[in-house]
Amino acid sequence: MYVVFVGGDALLRHLGLSGYVALVYSMVEHTIGKYELAAALIIIGIMEELYWRGGLQELMRGVGGLVGREPWLLSMTYYTLVHLSTLNPALVAGAFAVGLIDGLLADKVGLAASTITHVLRLELMMVLSPL
């Protein structure tokens, strides 16, 4: 997933929107230290996966139609829409990518796979190798 975000960063740079990525990093850098951030991201990644993929997505399995057959579609859509409130195109695009990839992973492989992917991406992007 990190590679997807590297590609997204390059696209945003090409479109002249790289300031939105910098804005995300500046918000994080001024609020918490590196070690605290690393620990918080583990908790955040686990909790987001439990809520979005383990909760909402699994609830949709009981619904009929397309949503019941492909519950990741609703989870991905809602996860993306929630990020619209930030008015930050980088966060919205990132939410779409995470919703799509982790939604499919949780649906096809399991919640543990999407959780590991989510936490690793957060740690790589925010602590180990920021864009």
The per-residue pLDDT for 128 is 87
- The reported pTM is 0.83
Distance in Å from the first CA to the final CA of the chain: 13
What average pLDDT does the segment 39-56 reach?
91
What average pLDDT does the segment 108-114 reach?
94
Give the closest residue to 21 by CA, choosing from 29, 33, 13, 32: 13
Question: Does pLDDT of 66 surpass 90?
Answer: no
The per-residue pLDDT for 18 is 83
Question: Does pLDDT of 25 surpass 80?
Answer: yes
Q: Where are the domains of the chain?
A: 2-128
Question: Does pLDDT of 30 surpass 90?
Answer: no
What average pLDDT does the segment 34-39 reach?
90
Of 6-15, 63-72, 102-111, the least confident: 63-72
Q: How far apart are CA 125 and CA 99, in angstroms?
A: 16
What average pLDDT does the segment 62-80 reach?
82
SS3 annotation, the chain: CHHHHHHHHHHHHHCCCHHHHHHHHHHHHCCCCHHHHHHHHHHHHHHHHHHHHHHHHHHHHHCCHHHHHCCHHHHHHHHHHHHHHHCCHHHHHHHHHHHHHHHHHHHHCCHHHHHHHHHHHHHHHHHHCCC
